[in-house]
Chains A and B, each alone.
Chain A
Amino acid sequence: MDAKPPEDSAVTRRQFLRNGARLLAMTGLGVAAGGLATRSTGAATVWQIDPAKCLRCGNCATKCVLEQSAVKCVHAYAVCGYCQLCTGFFAPEPNALTTAAENQLCPTGAIKRTYVEDPYYQYSIDEQLCIGCAKCVEGCNRFGNGSLFLQIRHDRCLNCNECAISRTCPGDAFRRVPVDHPYLLKTTSR
Protein backbone atom coordinates (compact mmCIF):
# COMPACT_ATOMS: atom_id res chain seq x y z
CA MET A 1 0.00 0.00 0.00
CA ASP A 2 1.37 3.35 -1.00
CA ALA A 3 1.21 5.89 1.86
CA LYS A 4 2.27 8.78 -0.34
CA PRO A 5 -0.59 11.13 -1.20
CA PRO A 6 -1.53 11.57 -4.79
CA GLU A 7 0.30 14.30 -6.72
CA ASP A 8 -2.82 16.40 -7.34
CA SER A 9 -3.87 16.64 -3.65
CA ALA A 10 -4.25 20.35 -2.65
CA VAL A 11 -3.06 19.86 0.96
CA THR A 12 -0.81 17.16 2.21
CA ARG A 13 -1.40 15.52 5.57
CA ARG A 14 1.70 17.22 6.93
CA GLN A 15 0.58 20.59 5.61
CA PHE A 16 -2.88 20.08 7.07
CA LEU A 17 -1.53 19.34 10.54
CA ARG A 18 0.90 22.26 10.34
CA ASN A 19 -1.82 24.67 9.26
CA GLY A 20 -4.10 23.36 12.00
CA ALA A 21 -1.45 23.94 14.64
CA ARG A 22 -0.84 27.48 13.39
CA LEU A 23 -4.55 28.25 13.35
CA LEU A 24 -4.88 26.96 16.90
CA ALA A 25 -1.96 29.08 18.06
CA MET A 26 -3.32 32.20 16.39
CA THR A 27 -6.77 31.60 17.86
CA GLY A 28 -5.29 31.23 21.31
CA LEU A 29 -3.31 34.40 20.89
CA GLY A 30 -6.42 36.23 19.75
CA VAL A 31 -8.43 35.02 22.72
CA ALA A 32 -5.66 36.05 25.12
CA ALA A 33 -5.36 39.49 23.54
CA GLY A 34 -9.12 39.94 23.57
CA GLY A 35 -9.27 38.97 27.22
CA LEU A 36 -6.58 41.45 28.14
CA ALA A 37 -8.27 44.19 26.18
CA THR A 38 -11.61 43.45 27.85
CA ARG A 39 -10.06 43.44 31.29
CA SER A 40 -8.30 46.74 30.74
CA THR A 41 -11.55 48.32 29.45
CA GLY A 42 -13.51 46.89 32.38
CA ALA A 43 -11.08 48.41 34.85
CA ALA A 44 -11.62 51.89 33.46
CA THR A 45 -15.38 51.95 32.92
CA VAL A 46 -18.49 50.14 34.02
CA TRP A 47 -22.04 49.98 32.78
CA GLN A 48 -24.67 52.32 34.20
CA ILE A 49 -28.24 53.44 33.46
CA ASP A 50 -28.94 57.08 32.68
CA PRO A 51 -32.14 57.79 34.66
CA ALA A 52 -33.07 60.55 32.24
CA LYS A 53 -33.29 58.04 29.39
CA CYS A 54 -34.81 55.06 31.16
CA LEU A 55 -38.23 54.15 29.75
CA ARG A 56 -39.14 51.64 32.50
CA CYS A 57 -39.69 48.92 29.90
CA GLY A 58 -39.13 45.96 32.23
CA ASN A 59 -36.16 44.55 30.30
CA CYS A 60 -33.79 45.09 33.20
CA ALA A 61 -35.66 42.44 35.17
CA THR A 62 -35.50 39.81 32.47
CA LYS A 63 -32.48 40.38 30.22
CA CYS A 64 -29.58 40.39 32.68
CA VAL A 65 -27.32 37.34 32.47
CA LEU A 66 -27.57 36.93 36.24
CA GLU A 67 -30.37 34.85 37.69
CA GLN A 68 -31.51 37.93 39.60
CA SER A 69 -30.79 41.14 37.74
CA ALA A 70 -27.93 43.40 38.82
CA VAL A 71 -30.26 46.32 38.19
CA LYS A 72 -32.02 47.57 41.31
CA CYS A 73 -34.33 50.39 42.16
CA VAL A 74 -32.63 53.10 44.19
CA HIS A 75 -34.21 56.01 46.00
CA ALA A 76 -33.18 59.67 45.98
CA TYR A 77 -34.51 60.69 49.37
CA ALA A 78 -33.77 64.35 48.69
CA VAL A 79 -36.21 64.28 45.78
CA CYS A 80 -38.89 62.19 47.51
CA GLY A 81 -42.09 63.82 48.74
CA TYR A 82 -42.54 61.17 51.46
CA CYS A 83 -46.10 60.90 50.24
CA GLN A 84 -48.79 59.13 52.19
CA LEU A 85 -50.13 57.85 48.90
CA CYS A 86 -46.90 56.91 47.18
CA THR A 87 -47.67 55.88 43.63
CA GLY A 88 -44.44 53.92 43.54
CA PHE A 89 -45.59 51.87 46.50
CA PHE A 90 -49.36 51.59 46.04
CA ALA A 91 -51.22 50.00 43.17
CA PRO A 92 -53.16 52.48 41.01
CA GLU A 93 -56.41 51.82 42.85
CA PRO A 94 -55.59 50.49 46.32
CA ASN A 95 -58.36 49.26 48.59
CA ALA A 96 -56.77 51.18 51.43
CA LEU A 97 -53.51 52.95 52.16
CA THR A 98 -52.13 50.04 54.10
CA THR A 99 -49.21 47.69 53.51
CA ALA A 100 -51.52 44.77 52.72
CA ALA A 101 -50.09 42.82 49.79
CA GLU A 102 -53.05 43.52 47.52
CA ASN A 103 -52.47 47.26 47.85
CA GLN A 104 -48.81 47.12 46.90
CA LEU A 105 -47.51 47.76 43.42
CA CYS A 106 -44.18 45.92 43.70
CA PRO A 107 -44.51 42.31 42.48
CA THR A 108 -41.97 41.14 45.06
CA GLY A 109 -42.85 43.43 47.96
CA ALA A 110 -39.40 44.98 47.85
CA ILE A 111 -40.42 48.46 49.04
CA LYS A 112 -40.64 49.03 52.77
CA ARG A 113 -42.97 51.74 54.04
CA THR A 114 -42.10 53.36 57.37
CA TYR A 115 -44.18 55.96 59.19
CA VAL A 116 -42.29 59.17 59.90
CA GLU A 117 -44.90 61.66 61.11
CA ASP A 118 -48.36 62.65 59.94
CA PRO A 119 -48.75 62.33 56.99
CA TYR A 120 -45.23 61.42 55.89
CA TYR A 121 -43.85 57.99 55.14
CA GLN A 122 -40.39 56.88 54.16
CA TYR A 123 -39.91 54.32 51.41
CA SER A 124 -36.80 52.17 51.16
CA ILE A 125 -35.77 49.40 48.80
CA ASP A 126 -34.93 45.88 49.92
CA GLU A 127 -32.35 45.02 47.26
CA GLN A 128 -32.51 41.34 48.07
CA LEU A 129 -36.10 41.35 46.85
CA CYS A 130 -35.89 43.98 44.11
CA ILE A 131 -35.76 42.50 40.62
CA GLY A 132 -35.32 45.80 38.78
CA CYS A 133 -38.66 45.67 36.97
CA ALA A 134 -39.18 49.46 37.24
CA LYS A 135 -42.87 49.20 37.98
CA CYS A 136 -42.44 51.45 41.00
CA VAL A 137 -40.23 53.78 38.97
CA GLU A 138 -43.03 54.26 36.47
CA GLY A 139 -45.57 54.93 39.22
CA CYS A 140 -43.30 57.44 40.91
CA ASN A 141 -42.42 59.23 37.69
CA ARG A 142 -45.93 59.32 36.29
CA PHE A 143 -47.49 61.01 39.29
CA GLY A 144 -44.72 62.11 41.61
CA ASN A 145 -41.27 63.59 41.74
CA GLY A 146 -39.41 60.68 40.20
CA SER A 147 -37.31 59.89 43.24
CA LEU A 148 -37.29 56.16 42.43
CA PHE A 149 -35.02 55.14 39.57
CA LEU A 150 -32.96 52.22 38.35
CA GLN A 151 -29.23 51.75 38.73
CA ILE A 152 -26.86 48.89 38.08
CA ARG A 153 -25.48 47.73 41.41
CA HIS A 154 -21.79 47.07 40.98
CA ASP A 155 -21.50 44.72 43.93
CA ARG A 156 -23.17 42.12 41.70
CA CYS A 157 -22.84 43.32 38.07
CA LEU A 158 -20.40 41.19 36.08
CA ASN A 159 -19.56 44.16 33.86
CA CYS A 160 -19.93 42.08 30.72
CA ASN A 161 -18.14 43.39 27.70
CA GLU A 162 -21.48 43.63 25.95
CA CYS A 163 -24.23 44.06 28.54
CA ALA A 164 -27.16 41.80 27.70
CA ILE A 165 -29.70 44.38 28.90
CA SER A 166 -28.13 47.24 27.01
CA ARG A 167 -28.56 45.33 23.76
CA THR A 168 -32.32 45.42 24.21
CA CYS A 169 -32.71 48.77 25.98
CA PRO A 170 -35.26 50.75 23.92
CA GLY A 171 -34.17 54.05 25.42
CA ASP A 172 -30.44 53.56 24.89
CA ALA A 173 -30.12 54.35 28.56
CA PHE A 174 -27.08 52.15 29.15
CA ARG A 175 -23.68 53.71 28.87
CA ARG A 176 -20.17 53.33 30.12
CA VAL A 177 -19.17 55.49 33.07
CA PRO A 178 -15.83 55.86 34.85
CA VAL A 179 -15.29 53.20 37.45
CA ASP A 180 -14.52 55.84 40.08
CA HIS A 181 -17.95 57.46 39.43
CA PRO A 182 -20.01 54.34 38.79
CA TYR A 183 -23.49 55.74 39.56
CA LEU A 184 -25.71 58.30 37.82
CA LEU A 185 -27.74 59.58 40.73
CA LYS A 186 -30.63 61.97 40.76
CA THR A 187 -30.32 65.09 42.84
CA THR A 188 -32.98 67.38 44.20
CA SER A 189 -34.89 69.48 41.71
CA ARG A 190 -36.28 71.86 44.30
Chain B
Amino acid sequence: MKPEFELFDRRGFFGALTKTAAILGLAGGAAAKAKGEGTPNPFAYDVSRFQKTDPKLITYAEAARWPIPHKEARRLAIGPDDQLYVCAGNYINRLSATGQHGLEIALSGPACCVAVAADGAIFAGLRDHVEVFDAKGSRLARWESPEPKTWFTGLAAGEKDVFAADAGKLVVLRYDRTGKITGRIGRKDADRNVPGFIVPSPFLDVLIHRDGLLRVNNPGRHQVEAYTFDGDLEASWGKPSAAIDGFCGCCNPIAITALSDGRVVTCEKGLPRVKIYTAAGEFESVVAGVESFPENAHACTDLNDCIHGGIDAAVGSDGRIYVLDIVTSDVRVMKRKG
Protein backbone atom coordinates (compact mmCIF):
# COMPACT_ATOMS: atom_id res chain seq x y z
CA MET B 1 0.00 0.00 0.00
CA LYS B 2 1.34 3.39 -0.98
CA PRO B 3 1.66 5.89 1.86
CA GLU B 4 -0.52 8.95 1.67
CA PHE B 5 2.34 11.44 2.20
CA GLU B 6 5.45 11.04 0.11
CA LEU B 7 7.68 13.87 -1.13
CA PHE B 8 9.92 11.61 -3.22
CA ASP B 9 9.62 8.04 -4.24
CA ARG B 10 12.72 5.88 -4.12
CA ARG B 11 13.53 6.40 -7.79
CA GLY B 12 13.05 10.14 -7.47
CA PHE B 13 15.25 10.26 -4.40
CA PHE B 14 18.18 8.57 -6.15
CA GLY B 15 17.67 10.75 -9.22
CA ALA B 16 17.78 13.91 -7.13
CA LEU B 17 20.84 12.63 -5.28
CA THR B 18 22.68 12.02 -8.55
CA LYS B 19 21.83 15.49 -9.85
CA THR B 20 22.94 17.12 -6.59
CA ALA B 21 26.23 15.23 -6.65
CA ALA B 22 26.82 16.30 -10.23
CA ILE B 23 26.13 19.95 -9.39
CA LEU B 24 28.38 19.81 -6.32
CA GLY B 25 31.10 18.17 -8.36
CA LEU B 26 30.95 20.87 -11.00
CA ALA B 27 30.97 23.60 -8.35
CA GLY B 28 33.89 21.97 -6.55
CA GLY B 29 35.82 21.71 -9.77
CA ALA B 30 35.17 25.33 -10.54
CA ALA B 31 36.26 26.37 -7.04
CA ALA B 32 39.41 24.30 -7.30
CA LYS B 33 40.14 25.86 -10.64
CA ALA B 34 39.64 29.33 -9.25
CA LYS B 35 41.88 28.49 -6.32
CA GLY B 36 44.67 26.77 -8.13
CA GLU B 37 44.90 28.21 -11.59
CA GLY B 38 42.90 31.41 -11.69
CA THR B 39 43.71 34.43 -13.74
CA PRO B 40 47.07 36.17 -13.44
CA ASN B 41 47.34 38.53 -10.52
CA PRO B 42 46.62 42.02 -11.88
CA PHE B 43 48.43 43.46 -8.87
CA ALA B 44 51.58 41.36 -9.19
CA TYR B 45 54.83 42.87 -7.93
CA ASP B 46 56.91 42.30 -11.01
CA VAL B 47 60.70 42.20 -10.72
CA SER B 48 61.17 39.52 -13.35
CA ARG B 49 63.25 41.82 -15.54
CA PHE B 50 65.83 42.06 -12.77
CA GLN B 51 66.01 38.32 -12.22
CA LYS B 52 67.95 37.62 -15.40
CA THR B 53 71.56 38.66 -15.64
CA ASP B 54 73.24 39.64 -18.87
CA PRO B 55 75.62 36.69 -19.46
CA LYS B 56 78.31 39.09 -20.64
CA LEU B 57 78.49 40.54 -17.16
CA ILE B 58 79.04 37.20 -15.41
CA THR B 59 82.78 36.65 -15.05
CA TYR B 60 82.77 33.69 -12.67
CA ALA B 61 81.54 30.11 -12.93
CA GLU B 62 80.68 27.63 -10.21
CA ALA B 63 83.54 25.14 -9.81
CA ALA B 64 82.21 23.19 -6.84
CA ARG B 65 79.46 23.12 -4.28
CA TRP B 66 79.97 21.94 -0.74
CA PRO B 67 77.21 21.20 1.74
CA ILE B 68 77.83 22.43 5.25
CA PRO B 69 77.12 20.23 8.24
CA HIS B 70 74.59 22.42 10.02
CA LYS B 71 71.53 24.42 9.08
CA GLU B 72 70.89 28.08 9.82
CA ALA B 73 74.13 29.26 8.30
CA ARG B 74 74.97 32.91 8.71
CA ARG B 75 78.50 33.87 7.70
CA LEU B 76 81.79 32.49 6.48
CA ALA B 77 85.40 33.63 6.68
CA ILE B 78 88.77 32.65 5.27
CA GLY B 79 91.60 31.73 7.60
CA PRO B 80 95.24 30.79 7.16
CA ASP B 81 95.99 28.24 4.42
CA ASP B 82 92.71 29.13 2.72
CA GLN B 83 90.71 27.17 5.22
CA LEU B 84 87.09 28.13 5.31
CA TYR B 85 85.20 28.83 8.53
CA VAL B 86 81.44 28.67 8.41
CA CYS B 87 79.13 29.58 11.25
CA ALA B 88 75.80 27.79 11.22
CA GLY B 89 73.47 26.94 14.06
CA ASN B 90 75.45 26.71 17.28
CA TYR B 91 78.65 25.71 15.53
CA ILE B 92 81.65 26.91 13.65
CA ASN B 93 82.97 24.42 11.14
CA ARG B 94 86.31 24.47 9.39
CA LEU B 95 86.47 23.26 5.79
CA SER B 96 89.70 22.67 3.94
CA ALA B 97 90.46 24.31 0.60
CA THR B 98 89.03 21.19 -1.03
CA GLY B 99 85.85 21.18 1.05
CA GLN B 100 86.81 18.49 3.55
CA HIS B 101 85.23 18.93 6.98
CA GLY B 102 87.64 19.42 9.84
CA LEU B 103 87.43 21.18 13.16
CA GLU B 104 84.01 21.79 14.69
CA ILE B 105 83.54 24.26 17.53
CA ALA B 106 80.38 24.19 19.63
CA LEU B 107 79.23 27.59 20.81
CA SER B 108 77.03 28.62 23.72
CA GLY B 109 74.32 29.81 21.34
CA PRO B 110 73.52 30.53 17.70
CA ALA B 111 76.46 31.93 15.79
CA CYS B 112 75.95 35.19 13.91
CA CYS B 113 79.38 35.85 12.44
CA VAL B 114 82.96 34.65 12.36
CA ALA B 115 86.44 35.98 11.66
CA VAL B 116 89.88 34.40 11.73
CA ALA B 117 93.12 36.25 12.38
CA ALA B 118 96.35 35.55 10.51
CA ASP B 119 97.71 33.75 13.58
CA GLY B 120 94.76 31.34 13.51
CA ALA B 121 92.72 32.80 16.37
CA ILE B 122 89.03 32.31 15.74
CA PHE B 123 86.46 34.90 16.75
CA ALA B 124 82.83 33.87 16.88
CA GLY B 125 80.18 36.53 17.12
CA LEU B 126 77.04 35.51 18.94
CA ARG B 127 74.16 37.86 19.23
CA ASP B 128 75.41 39.74 22.25
CA HIS B 129 79.00 38.68 22.81
CA VAL B 130 82.16 37.41 21.16
CA GLU B 131 83.81 34.09 21.90
CA VAL B 132 87.50 33.63 21.17
CA PHE B 133 89.20 30.31 20.33
CA ASP B 134 92.68 29.27 19.37
CA ALA B 135 93.39 27.53 16.09
CA LYS B 136 92.67 24.13 17.68
CA GLY B 137 89.27 25.22 18.93
CA SER B 138 90.12 25.72 22.60
CA ARG B 139 88.16 28.53 24.17
CA LEU B 140 90.37 31.46 25.15
CA ALA B 141 87.99 34.19 26.17
CA ARG B 142 84.48 35.55 26.12
CA TRP B 143 83.97 39.22 25.48
CA GLU B 144 80.71 40.28 27.03
CA SER B 145 78.19 42.56 25.45
CA PRO B 146 79.00 46.18 26.15
CA GLU B 147 75.41 47.35 25.85
CA PRO B 148 71.87 46.00 25.71
CA LYS B 149 70.30 45.44 22.29
CA THR B 150 73.62 44.41 20.78
CA TRP B 151 73.32 42.19 17.73
CA PHE B 152 76.68 41.28 16.24
CA THR B 153 76.40 40.43 12.57
CA GLY B 154 79.91 40.98 11.21
CA LEU B 155 83.49 40.53 12.41
CA ALA B 156 86.93 41.39 11.05
CA ALA B 157 90.18 40.37 12.75
CA GLY B 158 93.46 42.22 12.25
CA GLU B 159 96.87 41.88 13.77
CA LYS B 160 96.09 44.05 16.78
CA ASP B 161 92.40 44.80 16.49
CA VAL B 162 89.11 43.02 16.12
CA PHE B 163 86.14 44.91 14.69
CA ALA B 164 82.62 43.81 15.51
CA ALA B 165 79.68 45.19 13.53
CA ASP B 166 76.73 45.65 15.86
CA ALA B 167 73.49 45.83 13.85
CA GLY B 168 71.48 46.38 17.01
CA LYS B 169 73.34 49.47 18.19
CA LEU B 170 74.31 50.69 14.70
CA VAL B 171 78.02 50.86 15.41
CA VAL B 172 81.25 49.01 14.73
CA LEU B 173 83.09 48.26 17.94
CA ARG B 174 86.86 48.25 17.92
CA TYR B 175 88.41 45.77 20.34
CA ASP B 176 92.03 45.14 21.08
CA ARG B 177 93.10 41.52 21.16
CA THR B 178 92.47 41.33 24.90
CA GLY B 179 88.81 42.19 24.44
CA LYS B 180 88.98 45.80 25.58
CA ILE B 181 86.88 48.22 23.58
CA THR B 182 89.11 50.93 22.17
CA GLY B 183 86.74 52.71 19.83
CA ARG B 184 83.30 53.06 18.31
CA ILE B 185 83.00 53.62 14.60
CA GLY B 186 80.14 54.81 12.46
CA ARG B 187 77.82 56.37 14.99
CA LYS B 188 75.93 59.32 13.60
CA ASP B 189 78.07 62.38 14.25
CA ALA B 190 77.46 65.58 12.32
CA ASP B 191 80.71 67.14 13.56
CA ARG B 192 82.71 64.30 12.00
CA ASN B 193 80.47 64.14 8.94
CA VAL B 194 79.45 60.59 9.80
CA PRO B 195 75.90 59.93 8.57
CA GLY B 196 75.29 56.88 10.76
CA PHE B 197 74.39 53.34 9.85
CA ILE B 198 70.86 52.51 8.77
CA VAL B 199 70.22 48.82 9.34
CA PRO B 200 66.57 47.84 8.87
CA SER B 201 67.37 44.13 8.99
CA PRO B 202 70.29 42.52 10.84
CA PHE B 203 73.01 42.62 8.20
CA LEU B 204 75.91 44.89 9.10
CA ASP B 205 79.33 43.76 7.94
CA VAL B 206 82.89 44.99 8.28
CA LEU B 207 86.18 44.14 6.60
CA ILE B 208 89.77 45.31 6.85
CA HIS B 209 90.81 46.44 3.37
CA ARG B 210 94.32 46.18 2.01
CA ASP B 211 94.50 50.00 1.89
CA GLY B 212 94.46 50.06 5.69
CA LEU B 213 90.90 51.32 5.99
CA LEU B 214 87.79 49.55 7.10
CA ARG B 215 84.91 48.93 4.76
CA VAL B 216 81.46 48.82 6.28
CA ASN B 217 78.19 48.33 4.44
CA ASN B 218 75.48 50.86 5.20
CA PRO B 219 72.48 48.96 3.87
CA GLY B 220 69.77 51.53 4.56
CA ARG B 221 71.74 54.09 2.56
CA HIS B 222 72.75 51.55 -0.10
CA GLN B 223 76.38 52.44 0.41
CA VAL B 224 79.75 50.99 1.22
CA GLU B 225 81.69 53.30 3.52
CA ALA B 226 85.42 53.51 4.22
CA TYR B 227 86.56 54.41 7.73
CA THR B 228 89.89 54.78 9.42
CA PHE B 229 90.43 52.61 12.47
CA ASP B 230 89.77 55.75 14.51
CA GLY B 231 86.36 56.25 12.95
CA ASP B 232 86.92 59.00 10.39
CA LEU B 233 84.78 58.57 7.31
CA GLU B 234 87.05 58.73 4.27
CA ALA B 235 84.80 57.76 1.37
CA SER B 236 81.54 56.14 0.42
CA TRP B 237 79.94 54.80 -2.73
CA GLY B 238 76.87 52.96 -3.93
CA LYS B 239 73.41 53.82 -5.19
CA PRO B 240 69.93 52.37 -4.73
CA SER B 241 68.68 50.55 -7.80
CA ALA B 242 67.29 47.17 -8.71
CA ALA B 243 69.40 47.39 -11.87
CA ILE B 244 72.60 45.39 -11.87
CA ASP B 245 74.91 48.31 -11.10
CA GLY B 246 73.02 49.36 -7.96
CA PHE B 247 71.95 47.89 -4.66
CA CYS B 248 68.38 46.65 -4.71
CA GLY B 249 65.53 46.80 -2.24
CA CYS B 250 65.31 48.70 0.98
CA CYS B 251 68.61 47.68 2.42
CA ASN B 252 71.59 46.32 0.58
CA PRO B 253 74.39 45.28 0.35
CA ILE B 254 74.17 42.86 3.26
CA ALA B 255 77.74 41.56 3.14
CA ILE B 256 81.07 42.64 1.72
CA THR B 257 84.50 41.18 1.16
CA ALA B 258 87.49 42.17 -0.95
CA LEU B 259 89.75 40.66 -3.58
CA SER B 260 93.51 40.82 -3.09
CA ASP B 261 93.81 43.74 -5.53
CA GLY B 262 91.35 45.82 -3.53
CA ARG B 263 88.18 45.34 -5.57
CA VAL B 264 85.13 44.90 -3.38
CA VAL B 265 82.73 41.97 -3.57
CA THR B 266 79.17 42.72 -2.48
CA CYS B 267 76.25 40.44 -1.61
CA GLU B 268 72.57 41.35 -1.82
CA LYS B 269 69.31 39.81 -0.61
CA GLY B 270 65.87 40.05 -2.14
CA LEU B 271 67.47 39.80 -5.54
CA PRO B 272 70.30 37.55 -4.34
CA ARG B 273 73.42 38.39 -6.31
CA VAL B 274 77.14 38.71 -5.81
CA LYS B 275 78.94 41.48 -7.68
CA ILE B 276 82.35 43.07 -7.97
CA TYR B 277 83.05 46.79 -7.75
CA THR B 278 86.34 48.60 -8.16
CA ALA B 279 87.89 49.97 -4.99
CA ALA B 280 86.46 53.35 -5.99
CA GLY B 281 82.96 51.91 -6.30
CA GLU B 282 82.48 51.48 -10.05
CA PHE B 283 80.43 48.43 -10.94
CA GLU B 284 82.60 45.90 -12.75
CA SER B 285 81.04 42.46 -13.09
CA VAL B 286 78.83 39.75 -11.62
CA VAL B 287 80.10 36.73 -9.74
CA ALA B 288 76.69 35.07 -9.47
CA GLY B 289 73.30 36.46 -10.45
CA VAL B 290 69.81 35.82 -9.19
CA GLU B 291 69.59 32.72 -11.40
CA SER B 292 72.26 31.08 -9.24
CA PHE B 293 70.15 31.29 -6.09
CA PRO B 294 66.61 30.17 -6.93
CA GLU B 295 65.81 28.90 -3.44
CA ASN B 296 67.27 31.97 -1.84
CA ALA B 297 65.29 34.27 -4.11
CA HIS B 298 62.17 32.26 -3.31
CA ALA B 299 62.80 32.51 0.43
CA CYS B 300 62.02 36.20 0.28
CA THR B 301 58.72 35.63 -1.46
CA ASP B 302 57.31 32.74 0.56
CA LEU B 303 58.17 33.83 4.04
CA ASN B 304 56.91 36.92 5.69
CA ASP B 305 60.13 38.81 5.74
CA CYS B 306 63.50 38.58 4.12
CA ILE B 307 65.75 38.29 7.13
CA HIS B 308 65.89 34.53 6.59
CA GLY B 309 67.36 34.87 3.12
CA GLY B 310 70.73 36.23 2.21
CA ILE B 311 74.22 35.26 1.16
CA ASP B 312 77.76 35.87 2.29
CA ALA B 313 81.10 35.67 0.51
CA ALA B 314 84.78 35.27 1.25
CA VAL B 315 87.82 35.39 -1.04
CA GLY B 316 90.65 32.85 -1.13
CA SER B 317 94.27 33.66 -1.77
CA ASP B 318 93.98 32.27 -5.30
CA GLY B 319 91.12 34.63 -6.13
CA ARG B 320 88.38 32.05 -5.81
CA ILE B 321 85.24 33.45 -4.27
CA TYR B 322 83.38 31.29 -1.77
CA VAL B 323 79.69 32.10 -1.60
CA LEU B 324 77.56 30.90 1.30
CA ASP B 325 73.89 30.42 0.48
CA ILE B 326 72.09 30.79 3.79
CA VAL B 327 68.92 29.14 2.52
CA THR B 328 70.41 26.01 0.93
CA SER B 329 73.21 25.79 3.50
CA ASP B 330 75.95 25.21 0.99
CA VAL B 331 79.11 26.90 -0.17
CA ARG B 332 79.57 27.63 -3.87
CA VAL B 333 83.15 27.83 -5.05
CA MET B 334 83.25 30.44 -7.79
CA LYS B 335 86.21 30.48 -10.14
CA ARG B 336 87.00 33.19 -12.65
CA LYS B 337 86.18 32.23 -16.22
CA GLY B 338 88.89 31.84 -18.82
Q: Which residue of B lies closest to A147 (CB)?
A: B305
* A143/B42 in contact, CB under 8 A: no
Q: For the complex, would chain A's binding face be called helix, strand, loop or mixed by DSSP majority? A: loop
Interface string of B295-318 (1 = CB under 8 A from A): 000001111111100000000000
Stretch touching chain A among B44-52, B94-102, B106-114, B118-126: B44-52
CB-based contact A58/B41 at 8 Å: yes
* Residue of A19, A83, A105 touching B200 (CB-CB under 8 A): A83
Given the interface pairs A93-B242, A145-B305, A189-B307, the reply to whether A83 lies near B251 with Cβ below 8 Å is yes
In this assembly, does A190 line the interface, its C-beta being within 8 Å of a C-beta of chain B? yes
Write the chain A residue with the least CB distance to B2. Answer: A10
In the complex the two chains form, is B306's CB within 8 Å of A141's CB? yes
Please, how many residues of chain A have a CB less than 8 angstroms from a CB on the other chain? 51
> How far apart are the CA atoms of A23 and B201 in the complex, in Å?
65
In the complex, identify which listed stretch (A32-40, A151-159, A165-173) lies at the interface while the others stay far away: A165-173
Q: Please provide the chain B residues from 197 to 212 with a CB less than 8 Å away from any CB of chain A in the complex.
A: 198, 200-202
Contact B220 A84 (CB under 8 A): yes
Q: How far is the CB of B294 from chain A (nearest CB, A)?
A: 14
Do B301 and A142 have beta carbons less than 8 Å apart? yes
What 1/0 mask marks residues of chain A from 82 to 99 whose CB sits below 8 Å from any chain B CB?
111111000011000100
A81 touching B202, Cβ below 8 Å: no
Q: Cβ of A61 < 8 Å from any Cβ of B?
A: yes
* Contact A61:B43 (CB < 8 A) given known A85-B240, A143-B270: yes
14 additional A-B pairs beyond A93-B50, A144-B200, beta carbons within 8 Å, are: A19-B7, A57-B38, A82-B200, A83-B251, A84-B220, A87-B249, A92-B47, A93-B243, A133-B43, A138-B45, A141-B306, A143-B270, A146-B305, A168-B38
Q: Closest 4 interchain pairs by CB? A: A81-B200, A143-B249, A146-B305, A133-B43
Provide 12 A-B residue pairs closer than 8 Å at the C-beta atoms, listed in order of the A residue: A23-B7, A58-B43, A58-B44, A62-B42, A81-B251, A83-B198, A84-B198, A84-B221, A144-B251, A146-B305, A189-B305, A190-B151
